[in-house]
Structure 1
Amino acid sequence: MGTKGMDQISEKKRGKNKLKSKKKAEDVVDDIAMDDKSDTKHGKNKLKSKKQEAEEHEEQLKRLKETQAEFFEYMKEHDEDLLKFDAAEFEDDADVEAETDLEDNEKQDVDVAKKVNEQKTITAAMVDSWCKLIKEDAKLGAVRSILRAYRTACHYGDDTGDDPSAKFSVMSSSVFNKIMIFVLSEMDGILRKLLRLPATGGMKDTIMELTNTRPWKNYNHLVKSYLGNSLHVLNQMTDQGMISFTLRRLKHSSVFLSAFPSLLRKYIKVALHFWGTGSSSISVVSLLFLRDLCIRLGTDCVDDCIKGMYKAYVLNCQFVNAVKLQHISFLGNCFIELLGTDISASYQHAFVFIRQLAMILREALNTKTKEAFRKVYQWKFIHCLELWTGAVCSYSSQSELRPVAYPLAQIISGVARLVPTARYIPLRLRCVSMLNRIAASTGTFIPVSMLLMDMLDMKELNRPPTGGVGKGVDLRTLLKVSKPAVKTRAFQEACVYSVVEELVEHLTQWSYSVAFFELSSIPTLRLRSFYKSTKAERFRKEMKQLISQIEANSEFVNKKRACVGFQPNEPAAASFLEDEKKAGESPLSQYAMIIRQRAKQRNESLVESDVIVGEDSAVFGKNAPSSDEEEDEADRNEKGAAAFSSSWLPGSDSKEKEAEEEEEKKKPKKRKRKSQAEKKQVEEGAGEDDVVEDFVFSSDEEDDLFDIEGDKDEEDDVDDDAADEIAEPETKKTSKKTKGTYKTWHKNYKKTKNKKKARVA
């Protein structure tokens, strides 16, 4: 073949080898690329630095020499620089690139965050523009925007309120105040226009019919957003002005709650909480809100409100003093006002609750145990009786509640006679007062004079006091008097004067009756018996004056009835002395005015501090403001600006409250240690200055609340004053003994002295 042929064959072989080597090189590069791809896939789970990648590449080149020797030689001949790779040189560049990448990413994140915050920040200019568009052009988009901002304002500071998908999230206190004032003042009117409703008012039936219309389907989410966010911010508010203004404005939108039963229950719960625990102003606003709900939404709402208010009233009646008594009376009048919204539903609740009181009294009469008596002789039970007494008296003209008067009077009479001892005279006087009120409002005769005369026959009021003068006793704030206080002169005076006042009230009610002479004869005889038995001149004078007034009134009635021709059981007897009754001409009516003035002065002298809710705030009946009363726009804006004028934001004080609670949790431990040390000091120095309190609610006092066997343990149950009186004779005996020892010592001393003189002589 020749040398040329051999050269051609060798060149072809070399070309084939080159092609094979290229293919191998491409395969190896693909393998490396696949390795790189796999590395990137694994890098998603575990990030690798560039230094690590360089080291791995260097190891791959070393493995190439061992596994692919021919290809390694080919690469060494044609491109030796690719094989010269050092990972150490690549380290610095990797760190620099990593640092630059981090800096670039941080800058990008900061820029994105700034843009997001700029988009989510609510400014005063934005709020003003929305308000202007709503007032002038009635733009629906502006309404949606202001409600989104309102939601952000109500949820500001919530732990779960930082929603990244929310359109707005940042605001200041001034912007918060502006949003709250506008939405609470204007949103009710805006929603009514969208739903094509009247500007004010509305009933449940109207909303139920509206739910089937197209406007409600389009805009009901706006109503729910407004009511739901308002409820959320009400739970966060602490300022009384904000709470009052918010409830006052939400009252106009209360009719919409009929379409959202779950929100309705929550609103009733919040309003009941504010009514039972808030101040007088918040209690009034909460009552008006609940009353408006009952009027507009009907029986279902009335049932929940009556049950909730009754429970809140009972919780406020645990303990009573002169200051809290007026506030409890105020809450009771609020409850009675709510009963008037639906008398038929109120009768059902009154029947159930009065029946519960009757069952408690029946258990006490049957078992006669201390636990059963304690359930009756407590403030909660007595105030419940007074509450339903006020309800019967307020709606005595209504045929629905009038039948409740008889069982209620029977329960009150049974409570008064349950424990007939002098220590429970304050409780019996309260029962007599309730019976007098029921008799006056219903026009029925209730024989309360026997309850009063039985108190005058008790030995503690007939005998001279053995406990000294004592402190002034306010019988209105007591159910039971301590045993030492029963023996004091102050207690006797308070009881006798109170009996006279209640008896005068009872007889004055029937001072124009045809049968006054007959119904007053027995009380007159018993008053004369007390006049003869008592030795206190002040009581004799009081009884003499009362007897003379009763006799004068009997003569006044007998003169008038001597000229009539009808019988006492005829209908004409009801109109007897009707004109004289309106003019108040009877002697007992004029005497009752003097007695009432005296009782008022005595009660005022016992009260040392002003009442929380004021003198006239307990009267809450016919003069209550109407639920349909509208406010002017100027007055509304002024009240809103006055309420929302602080730097308060929802959730802003949550962290501070948590810190304060943690501090308070730590403080009691130190206080307990101090109190224990103080107790030791008191025990060491006890007996120097003993202080006796007239009115103490302690566990020891409650253990012997019901001594039904006539106070047999009177000698054992004594206070510090009685203990001091018992201790006095012992000190006198010891002083006599010391005098005797001194005389004997003095005689012996004289004898020894005389003996010494004789010796000296």
Structure 2
Amino acid sequence: MDSLWQFSSVVFIMDAEEKVHEALEVEEEDDNSNRKLSTSRRSAREHMKQLERLKEKDPEFYEFLKEHDRELLEFNDEDIDDDTEFGMANDDIQDLDDPAHEDFQLQSSTLKKEEKPSKGAAMTMAMVDSWCDSIRENGKIGAIRSLLKAFRIACHYGNDDSSEKLLVMSSNVFNRVMSFVLIEMDGILRNMTKLPPSGGKKETIMDLKNTKQWKKYNHLVKSYLGNSLHVLNQMTDTQMISFTLRRLRYSCVFLAAFPSLLRKYIKVALHFWGTGGGALPVASFLFLRDLCIRLGSDCLDECFKGVYKAYVLNSQFVNATKLQHIHFLGNCVIELFGVDLPTAYQHAFIFIRQLAMILREALNMKTTEAFRKVYEWKYINCLELWTEAICAYCSEADFQPLAYPLTQIISGVARLVPTARYFPLRLRCARMLNRIASSTNTFIPVSMLLLDMLEMKELNRSPTGGLGKAVDLHTMLKVSKVTVKTRSFQEACVFSVIEELAEHLAQWSYSVSFFELSFVPATRLRSFCKRTKIERFRREMKWLIRQIEANSQFTNEKRALISFLPNDPVASSFLEEEKRSGTSPLSKYITTLRQRAQQRNNTLKESSVLVGAQSSTFGKKIAEHDEEGDAPNEEGAAVFSSSWLPGKDSRDKQSKGEENKKKSKDKRQRLPPVAAVDEDIVEDLILSSDEDGSVSDSPSPRKEVVKAVEFTQKLQKQQLKSPKEVSKQNIHLGKKPKKRKRTG
């Protein structure tokens, strides 16, 4: 009996669920018609009456359903919306009697009779203009609903998985709908929900959710944001995506009420920021920054983790072109962290701790694989990022504690593999430590890292590998064994050591204890001058030693007039006026070195084909594009002026992508031939997929021209040498020196 009773209960549940599904399926047959909705409501009410009769007829079975299927008993007719597209409330149905809405329904119904149902009705420019005029003049809710429905149709145009018969629209109608909605809808929704014309925070939306206006019109806000998100995933033109993101920035505060949409928007914006080209990364970053400012804790953690992960993925490989883009991404990360420094400190502490654990593993394991995890661009660029972050926020109490552990990590990385092949990496670490010391006004013994380099045999003996190609130490971490023996590598290393050592000493050239700080560096520099056999290096070192001695005399003369000790707090104000005016000998000397280093870097960039003209435009356009959001309405029409419609065949996208690749390849082939093609190629690294067609793909005639230019440069340099040096170099290259004819 019990089994029969259970079987009958299951049958009744299945019958009840089938009736509910039938009612819902009747509603989904035609979303554009509201007449079928009454049928589903009648069936739902009949089902509710059956449940009431069941309670009186069989109370035991009703209790069983109440215990095992409570949702079935709590079903009511309010679960079915009056408008499945926007979820209209019952008291808003009367707004559909607007003349503009009636005109839209009338034209759609007549066109449906004339054409096949699969094609749908046609949306004309006159209909869209009538809605826009009605919204501008009277702000009627019926016209707003019709325009938002047209906006949804435009965003989902051509989708095969659409559940309704979409209306047919031309490209002009699509452009008109998209530009008007993206430009005007934020102000319209703010006016309807009684929000301020601009700005707002998360607390404003939380207070608004309890008002009648929000309960009445929140479905319109969700429709606008949801459809905009859909079209962002469909568009491929960077200009259109940038315009859409700039307009959505003003409505990002509404996302506080829709957490699911907020997460999707963050994911899309992070993707565009990390992989986009042109002005798209700037627009995506400004959108993320506005989200963090207005919504606060709802999106801070996700945005901070997302931008750091995207930065790491983009910094795995470096050359002269990509280096500028990596700097732009790093500046964006630092700027975003400044929105909430306490939260940023928590993330920075975890990320720096991860770097320390990787270094500890390399020190303990001492294997090639462990060393490779440290000596790679991804790791070094992360150190650069946190160095810049600490320099930017060193005055804030939240970021000051991070300076010491980061300094220890950088020093450990510099000493991990003390060989001449890793001199570029050690110099990079010295630069980072100099920046941290200058920003935090803390003494860091950078001179020991630099002076140890001068004592290695590779910099103390004459080069055996010839002149060699010019070396750009900013775009490499490791050099080959052949490059270490060249004259160009020796010069680049020694001059870089002099520059970084002078930077370090110039920071403390106004300190009361400068004589004690500079004593050991000056002594070791004199030892290098005696030991080296290269005259040009000896000449540069003597010049630096003279500046150190002059600066020591400068500080000692001032120190003889004071009575406090170096560890007294008053010592911080020693030579404060001279420091502001920059009158110390080392300050003047470092200015000359910076100019020389800048000229050398410019020469390397001009001689490299890997330097892009557009890669450095991101930072310059941040302020420019920040103001473009307030541009007049004509900008939207200009952006959406193409014949693009979402949902086209994917084969069209592939063909366009292939055409763009061919065009970019043709542009690379038309570049003028320049010298030193291989200077900036990072050794032992594989370039990423977005850098196809690099130097290795250049045509053979171009390589021949480059070799000819390099040969002429060598001849010019040899003409400046003495005949003895030329003959020695020719003997090293395997050439026989020419015999001089004896004259009588």
> Mean Cα displacement is larger for which, 205-214 or 408-417?
205-214
Change (3 A) 1:553 1:613: farther
Aligned-partner Cα distance in 1 for 2:586–2:543? 11
C-alpha deviation, 1:491, in angstroms = 0.3
Aligned-partner Cα distance in 1 for 2:586–2:569? 25
Letter paired with 2:300: V
Q: Deviations over 1:438-478 (max 9, x none)?
A: 00000000000000000010100001111111000111111
Letter paired with 1:480: K
2:633 to 637, 647, 658: 637
**Residue equivalent to 2:199:** 201
Aligned-partner Cα distance in 2 for 1:583–1:662? 59
Letter paired with 2:542: K
Change (3 A) 1:269 1:454: same
Q: Matches of residues 440-519 of structure 1 in structure 2 within 5 Å?
A: 440-519=438-517
Contact 1:320 1:477 in 2 (8 A): yes
**Residue equivalent to 2:359:** 361
Aligned-partner Cα distance in 2 for 1:282–1:659? 22
**Residue equivalent to 1:390:** 388
Contact 1:326 1:618 in 2 (8 A): no
C-alpha deviation, 1:641, in angstroms = 2.1
Contact 2:269 2:284 in 1 (8 A): yes
User: Which runs of 5 or more structure 2 residues have no equivalent in the other structure?
Assistant: 1-109, 661-676, 688-730, 736-744
Contact 1:427 1:479 in 2 (8 A): yes
Contact 2:158 2:647 in 1 (8 A): yes
Aligned-partner Cα distance in 2 for 1:193–1:210? 13
C-alpha deviation, 1:643, in angstroms = 1.2
Change (3 A) 1:329 1:121: same
Change (3 A) 1:693 1:595: closer
> Mean Cα displacement is larger for which, 653-662 or 273-282?
653-662
Contact 1:228 1:263 in 2 (8 A): yes
C-alpha deviation, 1:642, in angstroms = 2.1
Letter paired with 1:312: A
Q: Matches of residues 196-595 of structure 1 in structure 2 within 5 Å?
A: 196-595=194-593
Aligned-partner Cα distance in 1 for 2:561–2:129? 83
C-alpha deviation, 1:581, in angstroms = 0.7
Q: Deviations over 1:99-147 (max 9, x none)?
A: xxxxxxxxxx998352768972111111110000000011100000000
Aligned-partner Cα distance in 1 for 2:678–2:193? 68
Change (3 A) 1:692 1:161: closer
Contact 1:299 1:342 in 2 (8 A): no
Secondary structure, in 3 states, of the residue corresponding to 2:564? Answer: coil
Letter paired with 2:341: I
Q: Deviations over 1:194-241 (max 9, x none)?
A: 101110011101111111211111111100010011011111112121
Letter paired with 2:162: G
Contact 1:326 1:613 in 2 (8 A): no
What fraction of aligned residue pairs are identical, expressed as a percent?
Answer: 66
Change (3 A) 1:662 1:292: closer
**Residue equivalent to 1:159:** 160
C-alpha deviation, 1:279, in angstroms = 2.2
Contact 1:327 1:613 in 2 (8 A): no
Aligned-partner Cα distance in 1 for 2:359–2:417? 12
C-alpha deviation, 1:626, in angstroms = 11
Change (3 A) 1:508 1:659: closer
Contact 2:253 2:291 in 1 (8 A): yes
C-alpha deviation, 1:636, in angstroms = 2.8
Aligned-partner Cα distance in 2 for 1:545–1:110? 89
State the number of aligned residues: 567
Change (3 A) 1:155 1:640: same
Contact 1:482 1:694 in 2 (8 A): no
Aligned-partner Cα distance in 2 for 1:385–1:619? 25
Aligned-partner Cα distance in 2 for 1:663–1:543? 56
C-alpha deviation, 1:662, in angstroms = 11
Q: Deviations over 1:561-594 (max 9, x none)?
A: 1111111111110011111111111111111111
Q: Deviations over 1:77-105 (max 9, x none)?
A: xxxxxxxxxxxxxxxxxxxxxxxxxxxxx
Change (3 A) 1:262 1:388: same
C-alpha deviation, 1:161, in angstroms = 2.8
**Residue equivalent to 1:80:** none
> Mean Cα displacement is larger for which, 193-202 or 233-242?
233-242
C-alpha deviation, 1:506, in angstroms = 0.5
1:178 to 151, 154, 176: 176
Letter paired with 2:274: G
C-alpha deviation, 1:661, in angstroms = 8.5
Aligned-partner Cα distance in 1 for 2:418–2:480? 15
C-alpha deviation, 1:660, in angstroms = 7.3
Contact 2:454 2:528 in 1 (8 A): yes
Aligned-partner Cα distance in 2 for 1:140–1:320? 54
User: Which runs of 5 or more structure 1 residues have no equivalent in the other structure?
Assistant: 1-108, 665-690, 702-727, 733-761
Contact 2:317 2:685 in 1 (8 A): no
Letter paired with 1:639: E
Letter paired with 2:647: G
Letter paired with 2:144: V
With structure 2 as the length reference, what TM-score do the two structures score? 0.72
Aligned-partner Cα distance in 1 for 2:461–2:579? 39
Aligned-partner Cα distance in 1 for 2:133–2:111? 34
Q: Deviations over 1:256-289 (max 9, x none)?
A: 0011111101100111111111125211111111
Secondary structure, in 3 states, of the residue corresponding to 1:392? Answer: helix
C-alpha deviation, 1:150, in angstroms = 0.4
Aligned-partner Cα distance in 2 for 1:700–1:287? 28
Q: Matches of residues 53-202 of structure 1 in structure 2 within 5 Å?
A: 112-114=113-115, 120-161=121-162, 163-164=164-165, 169-202=167-200
**Residue equivalent to 1:648:** 644
Contact 1:472 1:491 in 2 (8 A): yes
Contact 2:282 2:618 in 1 (8 A): no
Q: Deviations over 1:360-383 (max 9, x none)?
A: 000000110111111100000000
Change (3 A) 1:524 1:279: same
| Structure having the higher Rg | 1
Letter paired with 2:560: A
Letter paired with 1:237: M
Aligned-partner Cα distance in 2 for 1:315–1:569? 46
Contact 2:510 2:575 in 1 (8 A): yes
Change (3 A) 1:698 1:513: closer
Aligned-partner Cα distance in 2 for 1:624–1:439? 30
Aligned-partner Cα distance in 2 for 1:692–1:341? 42
Contact 1:157 1:651 in 2 (8 A): yes
C-alpha deviation, 1:606, in angstroms = 1.1
C-alpha deviation, 1:613, in angstroms = 4.4
**Residue equivalent to 1:606:** 604
With structure 1 as the length reference, what TM-score do the two structures score? 0.71
Change (3 A) 1:284 1:694: closer
Contact 2:361 2:370 in 1 (8 A): yes
Aligned-partner Cα distance in 2 for 1:237–1:206? 32
Contact 1:527 1:547 in 2 (8 A): yes
Aligned-partner Cα distance in 2 for 1:340–1:644? 35
Secondary structure, in 3 states, of the residue corresponding to 1:298? Answer: helix
Aligned-partner Cα distance in 2 for 1:644–1:695? 40
Change (3 A) 1:566 1:625: farther
RMSD over aligned Cα atoms: 2.9
Contact 2:246 2:629 in 1 (8 A): no
Change (3 A) 1:696 1:194: closer
Secondary structure, in 3 states, of the residue corresponding to 1:520? Answer: helix
Secondary structure, in 3 states, of the residue corresponding to 2:468? Answer: coil
C-alpha deviation, 1:618, in angstroms = 4.6
Change (3 A) 1:443 1:363: same
